[in-house]
């Protein structure tokens, strides 16, 4: 067993391959009481938590954490005063006290010995480094995705989390949502035959190097712009960056493959039982008249759009075992955002955020389930994280598992940027005979930041 493989949690679903005869089911909820005595958790037994960088998405996560009786939330760190205060109000209101402490500097909050675990929901530019700093401070981590901006950051994150023996759960909550669980279980069960191709719903890969117009720099207590930028290249302040408009900028965002691929490529890695590796070859698909669109990219009864004369948005990849991974934003059956599809020699299953599932044949329809409500809730995922903080087993979206899914996304994005085929060695995590691609594995960090 390789060193890297040792660090990946044994996938419990591997066992499903042996139950091909049986109908498949999945538990809908992880009971909160798995964590212990509900309602009577002594303060000393609670998981004490803080958070770094809580905006819209983080606030949603935090509301789930606050509902859990096993959690005591005690402190917020944010470079925006407004958000620090909003989170403090949220926590104080929940507990009926004024105890939630506020910090601007993450090193200060991380020095608190009483804190066991941190919720990190900054913008993407900080996810890897903040998680690394948190792991180095001896805390467990629940961090939103995408967890990194580069291949190097992804690996460094997993290495650091593993180095300190921390529990890490990436915010790829679909690993704990019914329809996605069931789809993966069907893929693992052998009911689709040997898996040949997996499909991940991604968005347009492009990003820009443009700057927004400069605005007057606020007082650092209001918004600490230098800390907001963190390891990223300097640029003039504009408030819109701090309000979510950082998406789409190369310095802060990995584009559409990372935006959703971190969910859906992760689902494909899972469905393909390849959590411990990544594809070895990546190529952008030219959706133009000059380059034929492979027929297998076309779902039944439809053909891909033909964008003549422009670079396409689809990137394909291939695992060492021959299974293909298709990252595309088109041609889905309309089962909702973040769709994923597993194809085998004997059939396929597709599902998405609507909760609906589709299968290739009537024979497979008995395996699926009608989920009456759409669901992207992180409740079960967060509950699993909390259970793991207590028991010290690795959760479904551990740092190693998430790092591999992210590395696959980064490789695809690099192939798309270079607009050509690239080959990748999962063992050395270097591209093969491709200097340009290898020079895109990392980016120099603004001083004084380092991994």
Partner 1 sequence: MKYRIFLLSALLMTAALNWGQSIAQEDKRSEAELIAALNVPDDSDASVRQFSLAAKQLAVTGTEAAIPALAAKLDSERFSHFARYGLETNPSPKVDEVLFDALKIIKDTKRLVGVINTIGERKNPQLIEELPRLNMQTAVFTASLAAIGNLGTPEAANALLDVITKGLPDQSADHLSQTDRAAIGDAAFRCAELLFRSGNAEKAVELYDAVAATESMPGYVREAAIYDGILARKADGLAVVVKNLTNENWNVFTTALKAARELPGENVGAALLDAAKAEENGNLSSERKAIVLEAVANRYDKAVLPELIAGVKSDNQTIRLASIRGLKYVGDASAVDALLAVAVQTGEENVAASQAASYTLVWIPGETVDAKIVDVLKNGNDAARIVATKLVEERRIKSAFPVLSAAVVDKNKDVRKVSLEAIAETAGLEEIPVLYELLAKASADEDIADLQRALKSAAGRQSREPAAEFVISLYQKAEGNAKLFLLELLATVGGDKAVDFVSSQAWISDRDTVDKASAVLGNWADASQHAQEALLKIAKEPKHPFQRRGIRGYIRFARQFNMNEDERINISKTVFDIASNREDKALVFDVISRNPTEKMLAYSLTFFDNDDFKEDAFKAAVAVGNKVQGKPAILNDAMKKVVEATKNAEAKEQAQRILDRK
Interacting positions 371-400 with partner 1 (CB under 8 A): 372, 376, 387, 391-394
Helix ranges (DSSP H) in 68-105: 81-95
Residue from 49, 261, 417, 429 in contact with partner 1 (CB under 8 A): 417
Round the CA-based radius of gyration of the chain to a whole number and report it. 22
Residue from 43, 96, 216, 448 in contact with partner 1 (CB under 8 A): 448
Interaction of residue 34 with partner 1, rule CB under 8 A: yes
Compute the least distance from the CB of residue 217 to partner 1, in Å: 12
**Interaxial angle between packed helices 178-189 and 255-271, expressed in degrees from 0 to 180 and rounded to the nearest 10:** 50
Q: What's the token pair of residue 179?
A: 């329809």
Residue from 193, 244, 294, 322 in contact with partner 1 (CB under 8 A): 244
- Which helix or strand (DSSP H or E) is residue 239 part of? helix 239-240
Interaction of residue 442 with partner 1, rule CB under 8 A: yes
**Interaxial angle between packed helices 255-271 and 399-418, expressed in degrees from 0 to 180 and rounded to the nearest 10:** 130
Stretch that binds partner 1, among 23-31, 65-73, 93-101, 319-327 (CB under 8 A): 23-31
Residue from 69, 227, 330, 430 in contact with partner 1 (CB under 8 A): 330
Residue from 26, 86, 90, 220 in contact with partner 1 (CB under 8 A): 26
Tell me if 50 sits within 8 A of 77, measured CB to CB: yes
Compute the least distance from the CB of residue 322 to partner 1, in Å: 27
What is the three-class DSSP state of 150?
Answer: coil
Q: What's the token pair of residue 311?
A: 């670079």
Among the listed residues 237, 173, 154, the one whose alpha carbon sits nearest the alpha carbon of residue 403: 154
Count of residues of this chain found to bind partner 1 when the rule CB under 8 A is applied? 111
Tell me if 147 sits within 8 A of 262, measured CB to CB: yes
Q: Which of residues 342-361 bind partner 1 (CB under 8 A)?
A: 356
Q: Which of residues 49-108 bind partner 1 (CB under 8 A)?
A: 56-57, 59-60, 107
CA angle 80, 81, 83 (to 5 degrees): 70
Q: Which of residues 117-136 bind partner 1 (CB under 8 A)?
A: 136
Q: What's the token pair of residue 59?
A: 């606030």
Residue from 171, 230, 256, 279 in contact with partner 1 (CB under 8 A): 256
Stretch that binds partner 1, among 67-75, 160-168, 266-274, 401-409 (CB under 8 A): 160-168
Rounded distance, CA 196 to CA 189, Å? Answer: 14
Nearer to partner 1, 55 or 271 (CB): 55
CA angle 356, 357, 362 (to 5 degrees): 135
Residue from 69, 204, 286, 430 in contact with partner 1 (CB under 8 A): 204
DSSP for 58-74 reads HHHHHHHHHH-TTEEEE
Stretch that binds partner 1, among 70-78, 81-89, 90-98, 229-237 (CB under 8 A): 229-237
Nearer to partner 1, 12 or 345 (CB): 12
Residues ≥6 apart with Cβ < 8 Å to 12:
none
Rounded distance, CA 236 to CA 391, Å? Answer: 46
Nearer to partner 1, 12 or 96 (CB): 12
- The site string for partner 1 over 163-202 (x = CB under 8 A, - otherwise) reads xxx-------------------------------------
Rounded distance, CA 298 to CA 307, Å? Answer: 15
- The site string for partner 1 over 262-301 (x = CB under 8 A, - otherwise) reads -------------------------------------x-x
- Which helix or strand (DSSP H or E) is residue 169 part of? strand 168-170
Compute the least distance from the CB of residue 353 to partner 1, in Å: 9
Interaction of residue 208 with partner 1, rule CB under 8 A: yes
Q: Which of residues 298-317 bind partner 1 (CB under 8 A)?
A: 299, 301-311
Around Cβ 247, how many Cβ atoms within 10 Å?
15
Q: Which of residues 419-438 bind partner 1 (CB under 8 A)?
A: 419, 435-436, 438
């Amino acid at each position: 067993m390789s060193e890297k493989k040792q660090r990946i949690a044994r996938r419990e679903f591997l066992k499903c391959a042996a139950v091909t005869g049986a109908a498949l089911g999945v538990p809908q909820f992880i009971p909160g009481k798995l964590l212990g005595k509900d309602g009577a958790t002594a303060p000393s037994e609670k998981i004490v938590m803080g958070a770094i960088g809580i905006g819209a998405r983080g606030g949603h996560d935090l509301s789930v954490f606050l509902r859990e009786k096993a959690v005591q939330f005690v402190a917020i760190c944010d470079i925006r005063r407004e958000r620090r205060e909003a989170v403090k109000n949220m926590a104080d209101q929940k507990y009926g006290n004024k105890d939630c402490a506020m910090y601007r500097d993450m090193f200060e909050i991380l020095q608190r010995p009483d804190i066991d675990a941190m919720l990190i929901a900054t913008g993407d530019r900080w996810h890897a480094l903040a998680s690394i700093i948190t792991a180095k401070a001896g805390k467990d981590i629940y961090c939103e995705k995408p967890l990194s901006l580069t291949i190097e950051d992804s690996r460094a994150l997993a290495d650091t989390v593993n180095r300190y023996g921390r529990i890490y759960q990436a915010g790829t909550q679909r690993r704990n949502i019914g329809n996605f669980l069931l789809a993966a279980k069907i893929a693992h069960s052998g009911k689709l035959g040997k898996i040949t191709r997996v499909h991940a719903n991604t968005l347009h890969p492009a990003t820009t190097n443009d700057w927004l117009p400069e605005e007057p720099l606020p007082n650092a207590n209001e918004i600490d712009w230098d800390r907001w930028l963190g390891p990223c290249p300097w640029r003039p302040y504009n408030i819109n960056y701090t309000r979510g408009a950082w998406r789409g900028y190369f310095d802060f965002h990995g584009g559409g493959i990372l935006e959703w691929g971190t969910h859906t490529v992760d689902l494909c890695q899972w469905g393909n039982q390849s959590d411990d590796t990544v594809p070895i070859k990546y190529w952008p698909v030219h959706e133009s008249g000059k380059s034929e669109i492979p027929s297998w990219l076309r779902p039944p009864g439809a053909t891909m759009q033909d964008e003549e004369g422009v670079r396409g948005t689809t990137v394909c990849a291939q695992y060492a075992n021959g299974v293909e991974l298709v990252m595309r934003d088109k041609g889905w059956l309309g089962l909702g955002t973040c769709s994923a599809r597993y194809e085998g020699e004997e059939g396929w299953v597709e599902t998405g955020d609507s909760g609906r599932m589709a299968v290739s044949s009537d024979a497979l329809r008995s395996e699926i389930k009608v989920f009456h409500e759409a669901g992207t809730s992180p409740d079960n995922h967060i509950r699993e994280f909390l259970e793991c903080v207590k028991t010290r087993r690795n959760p479904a979206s551990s740092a190693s598992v998430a790092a591999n899914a992210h590395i696959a996304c980064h490789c695809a994005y690099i192939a798309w940027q270079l607009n050509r085929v690239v080959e990748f060695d999962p063992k050395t995590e270097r591209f093969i005979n491709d200097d340009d691609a290898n020079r895109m594995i990392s980016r120099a960090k603004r001083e004084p930041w380092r991994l």
